[in-house]
Amino acid sequence: ENLKKFKDQPFFIACEFVKPHSPPTAPRRFFDLYDPAKIKLTPDFAAWPTVPPGFPKAAIRPHNADLFIGRGASEAEAREVICAYLASISWVDWNVGRVLTELDRLGLRDNNIVVFLADHGYQLGEKGKWSKAGSLFEMGTRVPLMISAPGARGNGRTCTRIVESLDLYPTLVELCGLPKSSEQEGTSFTSLLANPSAAWDKPAYSIWSEDGKTIHGTAVRTERWRYAEFGPNGSNGAMLLDPHNDPLELKNLANEKQHQPVVAELSALTRRYAATLG
């Protein structure tokens, strides 16, 4: 209805989908797409939040915040919940398709920017964790991001550069030809929409705070590495992960001698960023 109402004037519509927010639900037909018996659990599955060997204790919040709250997860229950999560995502996918179909029907696709993103990642039993918050692992902080901009040469292509959610606003401001505010944060990545392989060396940062005031941990993600420090100046440990060779984040490389130059470089970045937050 909003697309029909505003189609003849400039508009911004935020179309929000609640799922797969807990509890993950969907119409029955989306559940029928998945068989719990065929779900393979992650190799670091655990019934309760569990710190893997070689990782600092502070890397895992000891209790879940969204699913399996105050109780463990059996393997059978885990498979059922993962199917529910997948069904929720499929339901969202179907609804997104409805929006895009209407956009095409109204002839609006060629003069509108379409953005699809989420606000956080999610762990589905990896390391015994069933929640969004309380994580600086890739699975907890990485989000999907897809943009279709009229005339952008990169439309339909994959970009492996690292951007932040904070960069989205300045990107849209530039694409819309709007004036840039002096208080604007983030960096426009319109150059990547034109050329997904364009040079880009800006890392992304994530903060974990338990009380909204103090920093539990700070992470930095480059194209090559994910690094996180916990506690003031890493006093509660650190982790260095290799997303390319260890996508399931099973091995902490932070204490290995050959990686100390990388640790030193990324540690300086996390501390510099944390200092800007006061």
Residues 36-56 have pLDDT tens digits of: 999 999 999 999 999 999 999
- Which pTM was predicted? 0.93
The pLDDT of residue 1 is above 90 = no
What backbone phi and psi angles, to 5 degrees, belong to 87? Answer: -65, -40
CA–CA–CA angle 206, 208, 211 (5° rounding): 145
| Tens digits of residue pLDDT in 92-145 | 999 999 999 999 999 999 999 999 999 999 999 999 999 888 999 999 999 999
DSSP code per residue over 169-205? HHHHHHHTTPPPPTT--S---HHHHH-TTS-----EE
Query: For residues 82 and 39, is the Cβ–Cβ distance under 8 A?
Result: yes
The per-residue pLDDT for 19 is: 93
State how far the Cα of 228 lies from the Cα of 77, in Å rounded to an integer: 31
